[in-house]
Structures are given as C-alpha cells and as structure tokens.
Structure 1
Amino acid sequence: MSLSSNLDLTKVYRNCVFQSRSAVTSHAQLSHEFSEHDLEWRRGSVDTALFRAAINRMSFFVLRYGPEVEVRPEPFKDFALVQMPLRGAAEIECDGVRLTVQQGETAIVAPRRNIRLVWQPGCEQLILKVPFDLLKQVSCYTCPRSHCPPNVPDCEVQLESAFILNSGLLGQWQALVQQLLNLLPAPGDVALHPGWLNQFEQTVAMFLLAHQPAALERDLRGSEEEVIEMSSSARLAARKLEAVEEYMRGRLFAPISLADLAKAAGVSARTLNILCHRYRGVAPMVLLRNMRLEAARAKLLTNPAVSVTEVALEYGFGHLGRFSAYYRERFGELPRETCFLRH
C-alpha cells in the first residue's frame, strides 16, 4: 500500500502557498521556500503547486512540478529534507551518492557539496524540512563516543549526505509521520505545549539519525557486545540500572525519552531494554511510568489541597483518562478513590 493512501494529509493540503503554470513564478517561489537553485523544465506542461504546514520547528510540504524537471540547489545550510514520493519517483545525486526514491519509499538528503535532483513527470512528494539545530540537539544520543573530550568545539551533525530509509523501518517511520501530521494545528484545536511539541520533534529527529545505514550497523553491532558484557556481570548490570533509576527519580516532572535513559545508563537503548526486562520485569519507559505513578499516589494521599488533574499534569500525564487507567492497573483503584482515603 502506498504512503499517500496511508497518511492523512488534509491539514497540509489545507494551506496552499501557491499554484502556478508559470515557470518563472514557480522558480522564484520555491527558491524562497527552500534554497537558491537552478531549475530546468523538461517535457510536460508546468503545473506547480506547493502546500505547507508548520508544527513547531519542523515543516511539512507537498510539492509537484507537473513536467519532468532537473533541480540543482545550493547545498543546504541549516536543514535536511526528508522526501517521500506520493506519486512517481525522483533521482537523487548528492555528494557522489546516487539513488532513486520511488513511491512509498523515504529518502533523506543533506548535501554538503552538491546535489542534483530529477523529478519524473507527475511526481508529487511529501517533504519534511528538519532544521539542523534540532538534529544537533539529539545528535549526542547516537554518537559513537561515550563522552565528549573536554575543551573541544561542538560536534557537527553526523548525518549522511543521502540515503534511503530501510524498507523494514517504513512502518515505524510512517507511524511517526502520521503522529506529526496529527499534531499540526487546526481551527478550534487546543494549543499544545511547545515543550511537548519539541520533545516529539526530537524523537523524529533521533529516529532519522539513529537509522541512517552507518549508524544502525555500528550501534546494533555494539549493542550485541554490551549485552554479552552485561550478562556476564550481574553487578555491572545492577550499577547501570541504579544509575538510570536515580536519573528517573531526579526528573519525574520532566519530559524524558528512551534515548535519555540509555544515555544516563551508559548503554544502548536495546541493551537497556534487555536489562530492564531481565531485572525489573518491565520496559524502561514502563519503569519510569510506574515511578511517576508511585509519586502521584503519594502526593494524592498526603496533600489534601491538590486535585487529580493537577497531580496528573505535574507528573507528565497529559491524558487524564489514560492516567486513571494506568493508575487503576497499578494500584487497583482510581485516583479519586485514593483521594477519599485521605479524609
């Protein structure tokens, strides 16, 4: 099944930036939205359309040219593009890497030196614009070094110039993209907290960094070695779990990702997941949720001035119905029933 038939793009198509049958107008508008570029119109009639919707720091675009075109942009200075053909295909030549992205596939491009794109006639793409500062914010989580040496300049974003996302990851990627699309604002929607939007965008950015071919191969190989090491030393495993639990307790009110927990433990996310299941019986994020539930219960029992809603939001449970379900599963009673116990 194609990407276009699986994704709800209504919120993107709602905002048309421009539509034009003029080659000159189309070129000028697209240069403004992306970067300066040379554009050669080939066979077919110009029928350009651009739609755009911004989330927080990321932006979605749907773009079509109509005819076959060759695009030669300047290297991107402060962003990468994720290209997802909804119809047709495109050839990409980027810093010496050549590939073709077909309908239903996903390509990531971040040229340092040069890039050349050829869009087939009728090609229409969903494009996600990802700023480098967002990628930089999460790049430490996928860095092969366990720590940064002192007195060194900031690392550059380690993103390959061009690659096709592994087909086995497309289901997970599509789920992330749809969630991003769901987060796009619509008339009448309650505004989402910028901190939550930033946290989710970081998750998407980390997915792209972690699943580029070189990083994926390196980290999966490394995690196998970690698992063997942890299995041979229960004491070492206990120290790692103590470190991550201390990290959790100190940040019960803050947004935390699996990558944050893995970094605190000093192991890969895969190894941390294995350790938590083996020694705590649950996944790392469930362990964190249980800690937050315990803290929420303690506050409900000891502070008669607080409401269930206040406590749920304080400990990071934005959905009250889900909070109540988790709470009852853990303690056998609803939060409001706990409140009755304090009277």
Structure 2
Amino acid sequence: MLNTVHALSLEPLYRRRVFQSTRKVDCHAQVANELSEHDLFWKGDDVDTVLFKAAIQQLQIFMLKYGAEVIVRPRLFNGFALVHMTLSGTAEIESDGQKVCIPQGKTALIAPKRNLRLWWQAGSEQLILKVPLALFEELSAMGQPGPSNMPSLFLLPQQAAPHWDLLIQSLLRVLALPGQSEGHGEWIRHFERSAAQFLLSQLTSTVQPVLGVSGSAQVAASESGDSLVGAGKLQRLDMLERYIRTRLCAPLALADLASAAGVSVRALNALCHQQYGVAPMDLLRNIRLDAVRERLLTHPGANITDTAFEFGFGHLGRFSAYYRERFGELPKQTRGGMR
C-alpha cells in the first residue's frame, strides 16, 4: 500500500523554482550550492533537472528531479541532517555501511558520519527536508537523543508515515502564509519543532534503525522465512520485487537481493520458496524473462539480441533455453506470432 505522501499538496513549493536545466555542469553546480558539495555520476544523457526550494525559518524544503539516473556521493554534512522522501520512482541510500531501498512513498533520515552514497532511478522525484542539527540540540534537553546519538540512516516505520505526512503538509501550508510576518513566528517555530521532535520520537521508539550488511548477518543466524508472517512477509517481498524491477539490466548478486528485502540470505531463500516456489536468483531470472516477453509481444520489431542484453542476459544460448523452459517457445516464435 502506498504512503499518503502522494496526497501532499506541493503547490506552495512549486511556486519557488530555483532552476531548471538540461546541462549537466549547471545542474551539478546548482544542486551543490543549495544542498551540499558532492560528486555526481550521470548514467545516461536524459538530463532534465529541476530544483524547487522553500526556506521556512530553520528548515528548508526541496523538491529535486535529475531526469537521468544518477549516483550521488555527497561530502559529509556540515551541521545538518536530511529527511529524504521519495515522491516517485525509487532511490537507494547507503550511509556508513547501512543500505536501504526507498521506493515511492517511503521516508528516511540521513545523518552520515563517514560516507554516503545515493542512487536515484531515472525520472524519480525526491522531497528533501534539510534540518539543522541545532534544532535537534534544542530538543535534546527534553530527554530526546541528541545529534551525536543519531543513526547514520533511519527508515521511518510504515505506521508513522501518515503522521509524518501531516506534519510535512503543515509545513508546506506555512509557505502560503502572506509574508510569514512576526505575528506568525512562534506558530511557525512550533511546526518546525514538532517535525524535528517527531523524528526524534521515532528514533527512541524503534529498537533498530536500518540494519547494514554486518548487522543483518548478526540476526540472520536465528532468522528464517517462518519468522516473518502476514504483512511483514508481504512487505519484504514487495521491497524485493521493486528492487528487481528497477534494475532489470544490472548485475545483481544474492546478497544484493537479501539486502534490498532487509533479511538474511537464508531468510530470503525461505521466503522465495514459500511465496514463489523458486530460489531468489530464479525469481530474478523469471522477472527478467517476463519483461523480455512483454517487450517482444508489444514491440514485434524488437531485436531479440538487444532485448536480451537490455534485460540482463549476457549469454544468448542460456537465455533461449531459459525462455523456452518458462514459456514453451523460443523468443523468435513469440515475436513471429505477433506479425
């Protein structure tokens, strides 16, 4: 089920466009100036970058879209943390060895201590809240954890998402106030503190933030597919499928799939056999084969070799054998039948 983030009214933010450009150099420089110095790696030339920004009092809200698929490696943040909300598409964040996939509707708090890497799917849009650590420090006197205790990466729990969306909507509505005069000052500060305090409350009420590779290994010894039931199991499988479908041509290992689902390799094997009747890597191959078949059915003129490579099959002989095993016919028969 998708997060209510899609119901957010972003109109007040969309009135505050910083820039829009199709030139890679300009895009890099503008985003670095507004958010943080970073290295930016473009994957493809479909650049259509747009950045919106609104400053409230201590908080800043951004909406950023690169257009093309990108990998971003920011410098360590200087005095602030980021709240990353995926509005459309998919993002993947790796901070200090912890990694999480953030599909549409998910939110993460990012406060790296050593390193940070972000991957954004082509065409994805991200809402970013820039929160100064000074605001968290103000609240730490009330018994909340201070910035020094903040995890490098924290995925907001699903049950907290509707409440967080209401807070963000309140902040967006503040932008529509005429002049944000002194008469509104304390009221606006209340909303900003509420947003920061809510994030801190989630940190204290959640036993574990995002498990990194080493953290997952520690709990994997006692973890099996049977330990996840109901909605928890379906959520893991949904995360896995989203991860695969956004990387149909990428080289993926079993460990990558387990990390995307947030479980150990052992647990992922159990889950996939229970739900799909196949191993995780077989599931990956089947999803890619389904994508190939859909392409051949909808585009009869598609080149079979190019299509196979596009969806991650580097060995054409094995690809044809897998395709025939799954669909009972060769790829050329599928394409030929549509003519």
**What TM-score results when the alignment is normalised by the length of structure 1?**
0.57
Aligned residue number for residue 333 of structure 1? none
**Distance of 2:189 and 2:205 partners within structure 1:** 24
What one-letter code is carried by the residue in structure 2 that aligns with 1:98? K
Aligned residue number for residue 112 of structure 1? 113
Counterparts of residues 27-106 of structure 1 (less than 5 Å): 27-106=28-107
**Which structure 2 segments of 5+ residues have no match?**
208-339
Aligned residue number for residue 329 of structure 1? none
**Distance of 2:179 and 2:154 partners within structure 1:** 39
> In 2 relative to 1, CA 142–89 (structure 1 residues): closer, same or farther, beyond 3 Å?
farther
Q: Describe the SS at the equivalent of 1:160.
A: coil
Aligned residue number for residue 296 of structure 1? none
Give the superposition deviation at 1:164. Answer: 0.8
Does residue 173 (structure 1) correspond to residue 174 (structure 2)? The answer is: no
**Distance of 1:198 and 1:100 partners within structure 2:** 32
> In 2 relative to 1, CA 50–29 (structure 1 residues): closer, same or farther, beyond 3 Å?
same
Aligned residue number for residue 129 of structure 2? 128
What one-letter code is carried by the residue in structure 1 that aligns with 2:136? L
What one-letter code is carried by the residue in structure 2 that aligns with 1:216? S
Q: 1:209 aligns with which of 193, 200, 205?
A: 200
Give the superposition deviation at 1:160. Answer: 1.1
> In 2 relative to 1, CA 169–24 (structure 1 residues): closer, same or farther, beyond 3 Å?
same
Q: 2:152 aligns with which of 158, 161, 165?
A: 161
Give the superposition deviation at 1:184. Answer: 1.4
- RMSD over aligned Cα, in angstroms? 2.0
Q: How many residues are paired up?
A: 207
Aligned residue number for residue 288 of structure 1? none
> In 2 relative to 1, CA 217–45 (structure 1 residues): closer, same or farther, beyond 3 Å?
closer
**Distance of 1:87 and 1:208 partners within structure 2:** 22
Q: Is the 8 A contact 2:144 2:200 kept in 1?
A: no
> In 2 relative to 1, CA 114–195 (structure 1 residues): closer, same or farther, beyond 3 Å?
same
Aligned residue number for residue 194 of structure 1? 185
Q: Is the 8 A contact 1:110 1:159 kept in 2?
A: yes
Q: Describe the SS at the equivalent of 1:211.
A: helix
Counterparts of residues 174-253 of structure 1 (less than 5 Å): 174-187=165-178, 192-212=183-203, 215-217=204-206
* Bigger Rg, structure 1 or 2: 1
What one-letter code is carried by the residue in structure 2 that aligns with 1:177? I
Give the superposition deviation at 1:192. Answer: 4.2
Q: Is the 8 A contact 1:93 1:117 kept in 2?
A: yes
Q: Is the 8 A contact 1:16 1:50 kept in 2?
A: yes
Deviations 1:18-37 (A, max 9, x none): 00000000001111111111
**Distance of 1:31 and 1:217 partners within structure 2:** 33
**Distance of 2:183 and 2:53 partners within structure 1:** 19
**Distance of 1:109 and 1:135 partners within structure 2:** 14
**Distance of 1:123 and 1:5 partners within structure 2:** 13
> In 2 relative to 1, CA 189–66 (structure 1 residues): closer, same or farther, beyond 3 Å?
same
Q: Is the 8 A contact 1:86 1:123 kept in 2?
A: yes
Percent sequence identity is 45
Q: Is the 8 A contact 1:83 1:127 kept in 2?
A: yes
**Distance of 1:139 and 1:159 partners within structure 2:** 11
What one-letter code is carried by the residue in structure 1 that aligns with 2:205? L
Aligned residue number for residue 26 of structure 2? 25
**Distance of 1:142 and 1:6 partners within structure 2:** 33
What one-letter code is carried by the residue in structure 2 that aligns with 1:40? F
**Distance of 2:206 and 2:85 partners within structure 1:** 23
What one-letter code is carried by the residue in structure 1 that aligns with 2:106? E
